[in-house]
Amino acid sequence: MRKQLQLQVLMALAGASALSASGQSVDIRVTVENLAPTNSVAFAPLRVGFHSGVYDAFDNGAVASDAIVSIAEGGSGSEWFPAFASADPGATLGSVLPDPAGPLLPGGTGTAVFTVDASVNPYFSFGAMVVPSNDYFIGNDSPTAYQLLDGSGNLLISEITQFGRDVWDAGSEVDGAFGAAFLQGSSNDDHVDENGVVGFDFADLDVFNGLTTAAGYTFDRQFGADDAIYRISFEVVPAPASASVLAMGGLVLTRRRRLV
């Protein structure tokens, strides 16, 4: 009986090792944190994609695509997700929602778990609207900027930090209280075309200083180019099969102690 149990454990361990070596799916926990000062910027839910590295949502200095505008102007990603899926049908797409639900306020966090095939989708892309604003966002310009996983599912990056200098202006809507999201007395459905291009800009968020946000606080940007305002952290969630293997191993050891 003891030998039979030992054999079962060895077979289970060998199976788990084979799954890891072949680059099978792994569960990745993604955690987001708003690091901005109190009464400063909030963020829409983070839209994410684990992918093969082929989808490029926007380029610095170019006119914003409808895909990135759907993140920058409304935070929903209503065009970003379909465009991503069309370009890379095997990508794993989803959102990291704040807890509690709503905009990710200063000091707030959120988390979600995604199942990712590391051999197919080693890269990570993201986008989230910065509010209050008309069309500001965070996100990665290059689709291969962040290789998150190696072929065996090991993390190559533990976190991504966004600083003030990393805030983008989509250049699609004129900055101002009219049409800005997350402001009391303003409707995000209103819009004035800017006809510009995507570029870095955080300083012009000052146009909202002194205005009251939808959360009830008076906005004050405060952060500078080198101040951290947002963090995305990654963690591999142990597979349930691994826990079963460990439990079987413990059973064998227990029985061996009783038989000695």
Does residue 160 register a pLDDT over 80?
Answer: yes
Closest CA to 36 of 119, 104, 126, 137: 104
- Nearest-angstrom CA–CA distance, 155 and 2: 37
Question: CATH number of the domain that 95 lies in?
Answer: 2.60.40.2130
Specify the 3-state DSSP secondary structure of 84.
helix
User: Is 11 within the bounds of a domain?
Assistant: no
- Nearest-angstrom CA–CA distance, 6 and 151: 30
Q: Are 193 and 172 in contact (CB under 8 A)?
A: yes
Does residue 222 register a pLDDT over 80?
Answer: yes
The number of domains in the chain is 1
Residue-number span of the structural domain to which 112 is assigned: 26-239
Closest CA to 230 of 43, 96, 95: 43
Model confidence pLDDT, tens digit, residues 48-86: 999 999 999 999 999 999 999 999 999 999 999 999 999
User: Is 134 within the bounds of a domain?
Assistant: yes
Q: What is the pLDDT of residue 22?
A: 46
User: Is 20 within the bounds of a domain?
Assistant: no
Burial of 207 (0-12, 13-18, 19+ CB in 10 A): middle
User: Is 230 within the bounds of a domain?
Assistant: yes
> Rounded mean pLDDT of the chain?
88
Model confidence pLDDT, tens digit, residues 123-146: 999 999 999 999 999 999 999 999
Model confidence pLDDT, tens digit, residues 100-126: 999 999 999 999 999 999 999 999 999
Specify the 3-state DSSP secondary structure of 232.
strand
Q: What is the pLDDT of residue 18?
A: 39
Burial of 3 (0-12, 13-18, 19+ CB in 10 A): exposed
User: Is 110 within the bounds of a domain?
Assistant: yes
Does residue 259 register a pLDDT over 80?
Answer: no
Q: What is the pLDDT of residue 24?
A: 78
Q: Are 241 and 18 in contact (CB under 8 A)?
A: no
Kindly calculate the radius of gyration of the chain based on its CA atoms and give it in whole angstroms: 23
Specify the 3-state DSSP secondary structure of 51.
strand
**pTM of the predicted structure, to 2 decimals:** 0.85
Burial of 107 (0-12, 13-18, 19+ CB in 10 A): exposed
Closest CA to 71 of 59, 58, 62: 58
Other CB atoms within 10 Å distance of the CB of residue 133: 30
Mean pLDDT of 134-162: 97
User: Is 254 within the bounds of a domain?
Assistant: no
Q: What is the pLDDT of residue 186?
A: 97
User: Is 251 within the bounds of a domain?
Assistant: no
Contacts of 150 (CB under 8 A, 6+ apart): 118, 122, 156
Model confidence pLDDT, tens digit, residues 1-38: 444 434 343 334 334 443 444 457 999 999 999 999 99
Q: What is the pLDDT of residue 241?
A: 53
Model confidence pLDDT, tens digit, residues 167-182: 999 999 999 999 999 9
Provide the token pair at 43: 């963020």
Q: What are phi and psi of 44, to 5 degrees?
A: -70, 165
Q: What is the pLDDT of residue 239?
A: 74
User: Is 18 within the bounds of a domain?
Assistant: no
Mean pLDDT of 245-256: 38
